[in-house]
Amino acid sequence: MKIINKKHTSFLIIGLLFILFGCCKNSNTTNEQTIESIVNESLEFSLQQSLKMAVSLKDKNSLLPKTTDRFGNLETCNSSWWVSGFFPGTLWYLYENSNSEEVKNWAIDYTLRVKDQQFTTDNHDVGFMIFCSFGNAYRLTKDQAYLEVILNASNSLSTRFNTTTKTIKSWDSGGPNNNWQYPVIIDNMMNLELLMWSADEFINPDFKNIAITHSNTTLQNHFRKDNSSYHVVSYDTITGKAVIKNSAQGFNNESSWARGQAWGLYGYTLMYRFTKNIEYLKQAENIASFILNHPNFPEDKIPFWDFNAPNIPDTYKDASAGAIMCSALIELSEYTNSVNSAKYLKTAETQIRTLSSSKYRNALGNNANFILKHGVGHLPANTEVDVPLSYADYYFVEALMRYKKLKDF
Protein backbone atom coordinates (compact mmCIF):
# COMPACT_ATOMS: atom_id res chain seq x y z
CA MET A 1 0.00 0.00 0.00
CA LYS A 2 1.25 3.45 -0.89
CA ILE A 3 1.97 5.68 2.08
CA ILE A 4 0.52 9.19 1.80
CA ASN A 5 2.61 12.00 3.18
CA LYS A 6 0.95 13.93 5.99
CA LYS A 7 1.36 17.24 4.22
CA HIS A 8 -0.68 15.92 1.29
CA THR A 9 -3.57 14.65 3.42
CA SER A 10 -5.51 17.92 3.49
CA PHE A 11 -5.24 18.23 -0.30
CA LEU A 12 -6.46 14.66 -0.73
CA ILE A 13 -9.50 15.30 1.48
CA ILE A 14 -10.36 18.46 -0.36
CA GLY A 15 -9.97 16.64 -3.67
CA LEU A 16 -12.23 13.81 -2.55
CA LEU A 17 -14.86 16.29 -1.45
CA PHE A 18 -14.79 17.94 -4.87
CA ILE A 19 -15.12 14.56 -6.57
CA LEU A 20 -17.94 13.52 -4.28
CA PHE A 21 -19.75 16.82 -4.82
CA GLY A 22 -19.26 16.53 -8.56
CA CYS A 23 -20.58 12.97 -8.65
CA CYS A 24 -23.63 13.90 -6.65
CA LYS A 25 -24.28 16.88 -8.84
CA ASN A 26 -23.86 14.83 -12.01
CA SER A 27 -26.05 12.03 -10.67
CA ASN A 28 -28.91 14.46 -10.24
CA THR A 29 -28.54 15.37 -13.88
CA THR A 30 -27.76 12.04 -15.48
CA ASN A 31 -30.22 10.00 -13.44
CA GLU A 32 -33.08 12.41 -14.05
CA GLN A 33 -35.16 11.09 -16.91
CA THR A 34 -35.38 13.17 -20.03
CA ILE A 35 -38.80 14.56 -20.80
CA GLU A 36 -38.86 12.42 -23.95
CA SER A 37 -38.36 9.22 -21.98
CA ILE A 38 -41.00 10.27 -19.46
CA VAL A 39 -43.53 10.93 -22.22
CA ASN A 40 -42.88 7.59 -23.90
CA GLU A 41 -42.95 5.69 -20.62
CA SER A 42 -46.20 7.36 -19.56
CA LEU A 43 -47.80 6.56 -22.89
CA GLU A 44 -46.80 2.92 -22.55
CA PHE A 45 -48.13 2.82 -18.99
CA SER A 46 -51.36 4.49 -20.12
CA LEU A 47 -51.73 1.88 -22.84
CA GLN A 48 -51.38 -1.04 -20.42
CA GLN A 49 -53.61 0.54 -17.79
CA SER A 50 -56.33 1.45 -20.30
CA LEU A 51 -56.33 -2.05 -21.75
CA LYS A 52 -56.98 -3.36 -18.26
CA MET A 53 -59.81 -0.87 -17.92
CA ALA A 54 -61.30 -1.90 -21.26
CA VAL A 55 -61.20 -5.58 -20.36
CA SER A 56 -62.77 -4.93 -16.96
CA LEU A 57 -65.94 -3.63 -18.65
CA LYS A 58 -65.98 -5.90 -21.69
CA ASP A 59 -69.28 -7.54 -20.71
CA LYS A 60 -70.91 -4.25 -19.68
CA ASN A 61 -71.92 -3.16 -23.15
CA SER A 62 -73.62 0.08 -22.12
CA LEU A 63 -71.19 1.27 -19.45
CA LEU A 64 -68.12 3.50 -19.47
CA PRO A 65 -65.61 4.41 -16.76
CA LYS A 66 -66.31 7.54 -14.76
CA THR A 67 -64.38 7.64 -11.46
CA THR A 68 -63.99 5.62 -8.24
CA ASP A 69 -65.71 5.75 -4.91
CA ARG A 70 -63.75 6.67 -1.79
CA PHE A 71 -62.71 3.04 -1.39
CA GLY A 72 -61.19 2.86 -4.86
CA ASN A 73 -64.00 0.88 -6.47
CA LEU A 74 -64.86 1.66 -10.08
CA GLU A 75 -67.86 3.88 -10.73
CA THR A 76 -69.30 3.76 -14.23
CA CYS A 77 -71.80 5.78 -16.24
CA ASN A 78 -73.97 5.23 -19.25
CA SER A 79 -73.66 7.21 -22.47
CA SER A 80 -75.83 10.09 -21.27
CA TRP A 81 -73.38 11.22 -18.57
CA TRP A 82 -71.17 14.06 -19.78
CA VAL A 83 -67.88 12.16 -19.39
CA SER A 84 -68.90 9.20 -21.56
CA GLY A 85 -66.73 10.14 -24.55
CA PHE A 86 -63.45 10.51 -22.71
CA PHE A 87 -62.42 6.87 -22.29
CA PRO A 88 -63.01 5.99 -25.96
CA GLY A 89 -61.08 9.14 -26.87
CA THR A 90 -58.20 8.06 -24.66
CA LEU A 91 -58.12 4.69 -26.42
CA TRP A 92 -57.97 6.41 -29.82
CA TYR A 93 -54.96 8.48 -28.75
CA LEU A 94 -53.25 5.35 -27.46
CA TYR A 95 -54.00 3.57 -30.73
CA GLU A 96 -52.49 6.51 -32.61
CA ASN A 97 -49.30 6.16 -30.60
CA SER A 98 -49.05 2.37 -30.59
CA ASN A 99 -50.76 1.30 -33.83
CA SER A 100 -52.05 -1.65 -31.81
CA GLU A 101 -55.01 -3.44 -33.38
CA GLU A 102 -56.09 -4.58 -29.94
CA VAL A 103 -56.38 -0.99 -28.77
CA LYS A 104 -58.15 -0.01 -31.98
CA ASN A 105 -60.75 -2.73 -31.49
CA TRP A 106 -61.42 -1.57 -27.96
CA ALA A 107 -61.60 2.04 -29.13
CA ILE A 108 -64.26 1.09 -31.67
CA ASP A 109 -66.17 -0.88 -29.04
CA TYR A 110 -66.28 1.97 -26.53
CA THR A 111 -66.92 4.62 -29.17
CA LEU A 112 -70.05 2.83 -30.31
CA ARG A 113 -71.27 2.84 -26.71
CA VAL A 114 -71.87 6.59 -26.95
CA LYS A 115 -73.35 6.63 -30.45
CA ASP A 116 -76.89 7.37 -29.22
CA GLN A 117 -75.74 10.72 -27.83
CA GLN A 118 -75.54 12.19 -31.32
CA PHE A 119 -79.18 13.21 -30.84
CA THR A 120 -78.74 14.78 -27.40
CA THR A 121 -80.33 18.24 -27.26
CA ASP A 122 -80.95 18.73 -23.53
CA ASN A 123 -77.40 19.84 -22.60
CA HIS A 124 -74.21 21.21 -24.14
CA ASP A 125 -72.02 18.19 -23.43
CA VAL A 126 -72.70 16.46 -26.75
CA GLY A 127 -69.41 18.02 -27.91
CA PHE A 128 -67.46 16.20 -25.21
CA MET A 129 -69.40 12.99 -25.75
CA ILE A 130 -69.14 12.76 -29.52
CA PHE A 131 -66.09 14.70 -30.65
CA CYS A 132 -63.67 13.12 -28.16
CA SER A 133 -64.84 9.69 -29.30
CA PHE A 134 -66.17 9.84 -32.88
CA GLY A 135 -64.05 12.87 -33.76
CA ASN A 136 -60.83 11.04 -32.93
CA ALA A 137 -62.17 7.88 -34.54
CA TYR A 138 -62.71 9.64 -37.85
CA ARG A 139 -59.43 11.56 -37.63
CA LEU A 140 -57.47 8.33 -37.37
CA THR A 141 -59.48 5.94 -39.56
CA LYS A 142 -61.31 8.19 -42.07
CA ASP A 143 -64.21 5.77 -41.79
CA GLN A 144 -67.13 7.64 -43.38
CA ALA A 145 -69.58 5.98 -41.00
CA TYR A 146 -68.34 8.22 -38.21
CA LEU A 147 -69.16 11.39 -40.13
CA GLU A 148 -72.92 11.04 -39.93
CA VAL A 149 -72.75 10.79 -36.15
CA ILE A 150 -70.57 13.91 -35.94
CA LEU A 151 -72.94 15.85 -38.21
CA ASN A 152 -75.98 14.82 -36.17
CA ALA A 153 -74.22 15.83 -32.95
CA SER A 154 -73.36 19.23 -34.43
CA ASN A 155 -76.97 19.78 -35.36
CA SER A 156 -78.03 18.71 -31.87
CA LEU A 157 -75.65 21.13 -30.17
CA SER A 158 -76.79 23.94 -32.47
CA THR A 159 -80.35 23.65 -31.20
CA ARG A 160 -79.19 25.07 -27.88
CA PHE A 161 -78.09 28.38 -29.40
CA ASN A 162 -80.24 31.43 -28.62
CA THR A 163 -80.11 34.46 -30.92
CA THR A 164 -81.10 36.82 -28.10
CA THR A 165 -78.46 35.80 -25.57
CA LYS A 166 -76.03 34.94 -28.40
CA THR A 167 -74.90 31.87 -26.51
CA ILE A 168 -75.33 28.11 -26.31
CA LYS A 169 -77.33 27.18 -23.22
CA SER A 170 -75.56 24.83 -20.83
CA TRP A 171 -78.22 23.60 -18.44
CA ASP A 172 -81.97 23.89 -18.61
CA SER A 173 -82.32 25.16 -15.04
CA GLY A 174 -80.55 25.48 -11.74
CA GLY A 175 -78.77 27.92 -9.52
CA PRO A 176 -79.44 29.21 -6.03
CA ASN A 177 -83.20 29.18 -5.57
CA ASN A 178 -83.41 27.91 -9.14
CA ASN A 179 -82.83 31.46 -10.41
CA TRP A 180 -80.63 30.75 -13.41
CA GLN A 181 -82.86 31.66 -16.33
CA TYR A 182 -80.35 30.86 -19.08
CA PRO A 183 -77.11 29.48 -17.58
CA VAL A 184 -73.94 29.36 -19.63
CA ILE A 185 -70.79 27.82 -18.16
CA ILE A 186 -67.19 28.38 -19.19
CA ASP A 187 -67.01 24.65 -19.99
CA ASN A 188 -69.09 25.41 -23.11
CA MET A 189 -65.98 26.74 -24.82
CA MET A 190 -64.68 23.18 -25.11
CA ASN A 191 -67.68 21.99 -27.13
CA LEU A 192 -67.15 24.63 -29.80
CA GLU A 193 -64.46 22.42 -31.35
CA LEU A 194 -67.21 20.12 -32.61
CA LEU A 195 -68.96 23.01 -34.35
CA MET A 196 -65.85 24.62 -35.80
CA TRP A 197 -64.56 21.34 -37.20
CA SER A 198 -67.98 20.43 -38.60
CA ALA A 199 -68.37 23.87 -40.19
CA ASP A 200 -65.34 23.14 -42.37
CA GLU A 201 -66.01 19.45 -42.94
CA PHE A 202 -69.67 19.84 -43.90
CA ILE A 203 -69.36 23.36 -45.35
CA ASN A 204 -71.92 24.69 -42.91
CA PRO A 205 -71.33 28.37 -42.00
CA ASP A 206 -74.12 28.27 -39.42
CA PHE A 207 -72.01 26.04 -37.18
CA LYS A 208 -69.10 28.49 -37.38
CA ASN A 209 -71.29 31.53 -36.78
CA ILE A 210 -72.78 29.95 -33.67
CA ALA A 211 -69.36 29.05 -32.26
CA ILE A 212 -67.85 32.47 -32.97
CA THR A 213 -70.86 34.33 -31.60
CA HIS A 214 -70.80 32.25 -28.43
CA SER A 215 -67.05 32.86 -28.04
CA ASN A 216 -67.48 36.62 -28.42
CA THR A 217 -70.33 36.77 -25.92
CA THR A 218 -68.37 34.68 -23.42
CA LEU A 219 -65.34 36.90 -23.90
CA GLN A 220 -67.48 39.91 -23.05
CA ASN A 221 -69.25 38.53 -19.99
CA HIS A 222 -67.37 35.67 -18.37
CA PHE A 223 -64.04 37.30 -17.51
CA ARG A 224 -62.97 39.61 -14.71
CA LYS A 225 -60.39 42.37 -15.10
CA ASP A 226 -57.60 40.01 -14.07
CA ASN A 227 -58.73 37.56 -16.81
CA SER A 228 -59.96 34.97 -14.36
CA SER A 229 -63.32 33.47 -15.27
CA TYR A 230 -66.66 33.04 -13.59
CA HIS A 231 -68.01 29.53 -13.83
CA VAL A 232 -71.65 30.33 -14.58
CA VAL A 233 -73.23 33.37 -16.24
CA SER A 234 -77.00 33.46 -16.49
CA TYR A 235 -78.64 35.60 -19.18
CA ASP A 236 -82.01 37.30 -19.40
CA THR A 237 -83.82 35.77 -22.35
CA ILE A 238 -85.78 38.98 -23.03
CA THR A 239 -82.93 41.48 -23.03
CA GLY A 240 -80.07 39.07 -23.70
CA LYS A 241 -78.03 40.67 -20.93
CA ALA A 242 -75.84 38.82 -18.44
CA VAL A 243 -77.66 39.26 -15.13
CA ILE A 244 -76.14 36.72 -12.71
CA LYS A 245 -72.52 35.60 -12.33
CA ASN A 246 -71.94 32.62 -10.07
CA SER A 247 -69.88 29.53 -9.44
CA ALA A 248 -71.34 26.06 -9.15
CA GLN A 249 -68.15 24.11 -8.52
CA GLY A 250 -65.76 26.73 -7.20
CA PHE A 251 -65.17 27.98 -3.65
CA ASN A 252 -67.46 30.99 -4.02
CA ASN A 253 -68.90 33.24 -6.70
CA GLU A 254 -65.84 35.48 -6.90
CA SER A 255 -63.22 32.74 -6.67
CA SER A 256 -61.31 31.24 -9.58
CA TRP A 257 -62.25 27.59 -9.92
CA ALA A 258 -59.17 25.90 -11.36
CA ARG A 259 -60.80 23.67 -13.95
CA GLY A 260 -62.88 26.61 -15.14
CA GLN A 261 -59.69 28.55 -15.84
CA ALA A 262 -58.38 25.51 -17.71
CA TRP A 263 -61.52 25.25 -19.85
CA GLY A 264 -61.19 28.90 -20.82
CA LEU A 265 -57.51 28.57 -21.67
CA TYR A 266 -58.11 25.52 -23.83
CA GLY A 267 -61.28 26.96 -25.40
CA TYR A 268 -59.79 30.21 -26.67
CA THR A 269 -56.68 28.39 -27.86
CA LEU A 270 -58.78 26.07 -30.02
CA MET A 271 -60.88 28.97 -31.28
CA TYR A 272 -57.70 30.72 -32.41
CA ARG A 273 -56.64 27.52 -34.17
CA PHE A 274 -59.76 27.59 -36.31
CA THR A 275 -60.23 31.33 -36.85
CA LYS A 276 -56.80 32.97 -36.43
CA ASN A 277 -58.69 35.77 -34.68
CA ILE A 278 -56.02 37.66 -32.74
CA GLU A 279 -58.51 38.52 -29.98
CA TYR A 280 -58.85 34.84 -29.16
CA LEU A 281 -55.08 34.43 -29.05
CA LYS A 282 -54.78 37.43 -26.73
CA GLN A 283 -57.45 36.01 -24.44
CA ALA A 284 -55.71 32.63 -24.29
CA GLU A 285 -52.45 34.41 -23.44
CA ASN A 286 -54.21 36.52 -20.81
CA ILE A 287 -55.69 33.43 -19.15
CA ALA A 288 -52.30 31.73 -19.25
CA SER A 289 -50.76 34.78 -17.59
CA PHE A 290 -53.37 34.70 -14.84
CA ILE A 291 -52.68 31.02 -14.15
CA LEU A 292 -48.90 31.01 -14.42
CA ASN A 293 -48.36 34.20 -12.41
CA HIS A 294 -50.88 33.52 -9.68
CA PRO A 295 -49.23 33.41 -6.23
CA ASN A 296 -51.17 30.23 -5.42
CA PHE A 297 -49.97 28.33 -8.50
CA PRO A 298 -47.73 25.59 -7.02
CA GLU A 299 -44.16 24.82 -8.03
CA ASP A 300 -45.22 21.43 -9.40
CA LYS A 301 -47.73 23.30 -11.64
CA ILE A 302 -50.73 21.22 -10.63
CA PRO A 303 -53.28 23.74 -9.34
CA PHE A 304 -55.28 23.58 -6.18
CA TRP A 305 -58.93 22.89 -6.96
CA ASP A 306 -59.66 26.62 -6.68
CA PHE A 307 -57.06 29.39 -6.84
CA ASN A 308 -58.83 31.05 -3.90
CA ALA A 309 -59.58 27.94 -1.90
CA PRO A 310 -59.27 28.28 1.87
CA ASN A 311 -56.40 26.55 3.66
CA ILE A 312 -54.00 26.60 0.71
CA PRO A 313 -51.65 24.72 0.67
CA ASP A 314 -53.51 22.29 2.95
CA THR A 315 -56.27 21.51 0.48
CA TYR A 316 -56.87 19.38 -2.57
CA LYS A 317 -55.09 19.71 -5.89
CA ASP A 318 -56.88 18.87 -9.13
CA ALA A 319 -54.98 16.67 -11.57
CA SER A 320 -57.73 17.12 -14.15
CA ALA A 321 -57.23 20.90 -14.23
CA GLY A 322 -53.49 20.37 -14.48
CA ALA A 323 -53.84 17.96 -17.41
CA ILE A 324 -56.19 20.29 -19.31
CA MET A 325 -53.88 23.24 -18.75
CA CYS A 326 -50.91 21.16 -19.88
CA SER A 327 -52.53 20.14 -23.14
CA ALA A 328 -53.70 23.69 -23.84
CA LEU A 329 -50.30 25.24 -23.09
CA ILE A 330 -48.55 22.87 -25.49
CA GLU A 331 -50.85 23.92 -28.31
CA LEU A 332 -50.75 27.60 -27.35
CA SER A 333 -46.94 27.51 -27.43
CA GLU A 334 -47.18 27.02 -31.19
CA TYR A 335 -49.16 30.21 -31.75
CA THR A 336 -47.59 32.76 -29.43
CA ASN A 337 -44.31 34.68 -29.37
CA SER A 338 -41.01 33.00 -28.50
CA VAL A 339 -40.89 34.27 -24.92
CA ASN A 340 -44.37 33.02 -24.09
CA SER A 341 -43.78 29.82 -26.01
CA ALA A 342 -40.75 28.93 -23.92
CA LYS A 343 -42.63 29.74 -20.72
CA TYR A 344 -45.66 27.66 -21.69
CA LEU A 345 -43.57 24.66 -22.69
CA LYS A 346 -41.50 24.81 -19.53
CA THR A 347 -44.69 24.78 -17.48
CA ALA A 348 -46.15 21.95 -19.54
CA GLU A 349 -42.97 19.91 -19.15
CA THR A 350 -43.13 20.36 -15.38
CA GLN A 351 -46.78 19.29 -15.43
CA ILE A 352 -45.93 16.18 -17.46
CA ARG A 353 -43.15 15.27 -15.03
CA THR A 354 -45.42 15.83 -12.05
CA LEU A 355 -48.40 13.92 -13.42
CA SER A 356 -46.12 11.08 -14.53
CA SER A 357 -44.67 10.70 -11.05
CA SER A 358 -45.93 8.22 -8.48
CA LYS A 359 -47.52 11.11 -6.62
CA TYR A 360 -50.17 11.51 -9.32
CA ARG A 361 -49.95 8.42 -11.51
CA ASN A 362 -51.44 5.15 -10.36
CA ALA A 363 -49.50 1.90 -10.22
CA LEU A 364 -50.35 -0.63 -12.90
CA GLY A 365 -53.64 -2.33 -12.08
CA ASN A 366 -54.39 -0.05 -9.14
CA ASN A 367 -57.23 2.37 -8.52
CA ALA A 368 -59.69 0.65 -10.85
CA ASN A 369 -57.21 1.00 -13.76
CA PHE A 370 -57.40 4.78 -14.12
CA ILE A 371 -54.19 6.49 -15.20
CA LEU A 372 -54.16 9.44 -12.80
CA LYS A 373 -55.29 10.02 -9.25
CA HIS A 374 -56.06 13.16 -7.22
CA GLY A 375 -58.76 14.73 -9.35
CA VAL A 376 -61.47 16.98 -7.95
CA GLY A 377 -64.87 16.91 -9.60
CA HIS A 378 -67.29 18.93 -7.47
CA LEU A 379 -65.93 19.72 -4.03
CA PRO A 380 -68.75 22.00 -2.81
CA ALA A 381 -71.16 19.10 -3.38
CA ASN A 382 -68.65 16.65 -1.88
CA THR A 383 -68.71 14.49 -5.00
CA GLU A 384 -65.67 13.08 -6.79
CA VAL A 385 -63.15 14.57 -4.39
CA ASP A 386 -59.53 13.36 -4.57
CA VAL A 387 -60.32 10.54 -6.99
CA PRO A 388 -59.45 9.48 -10.55
CA LEU A 389 -61.48 11.13 -13.30
CA SER A 390 -61.84 9.87 -16.87
CA TYR A 391 -61.35 13.34 -18.32
CA ALA A 392 -58.12 13.81 -16.35
CA ASP A 393 -56.80 10.70 -18.11
CA TYR A 394 -58.00 11.91 -21.51
CA TYR A 395 -56.32 15.30 -21.37
CA PHE A 396 -53.17 13.83 -19.84
CA VAL A 397 -52.78 11.40 -22.74
CA GLU A 398 -53.68 14.16 -25.20
CA ALA A 399 -50.97 16.35 -23.66
CA LEU A 400 -48.42 13.55 -23.99
CA MET A 401 -49.33 13.07 -27.64
CA ARG A 402 -49.23 16.79 -28.38
CA TYR A 403 -45.80 17.12 -26.79
CA LYS A 404 -44.48 14.11 -28.65
CA LYS A 405 -45.71 15.48 -31.98
CA LEU A 406 -44.39 18.94 -31.24
CA LYS A 407 -40.92 17.64 -30.46
CA ASP A 408 -41.11 14.98 -33.19
CA PHE A 409 -39.78 11.98 -31.30
Write out the catalytic residue numbers: 125, 187
Q: 319: Cβ–Cβ under 8 A, 6 or more apart, which residues?
A: 302, 355, 360, 372, 373, 374, 375, 389, 392, 396
CB 205 within 8 A of CB 283: no
Cβ–Cβ under 8 Å, residues 318 and 375: yes
Specify the 3-state DSSP secondary structure of 384. Answer: strand
Residues 345 and 265: their CA atoms lie apart, in Å, by: 15
**Residue 192 CB burial class (10 angstroms; 0-12, 13-18, ≥19):** buried
Angle of the 35-56 helix axis to the 338-356 helix axis, nearest 10: 50
The sign of the dihedral angle between the CA atoms of 265, 270, 271, 273 is positive
Task: Tell me the one-letter amino acid at 45.
Answer: F
CA distance 50 to 44: 10
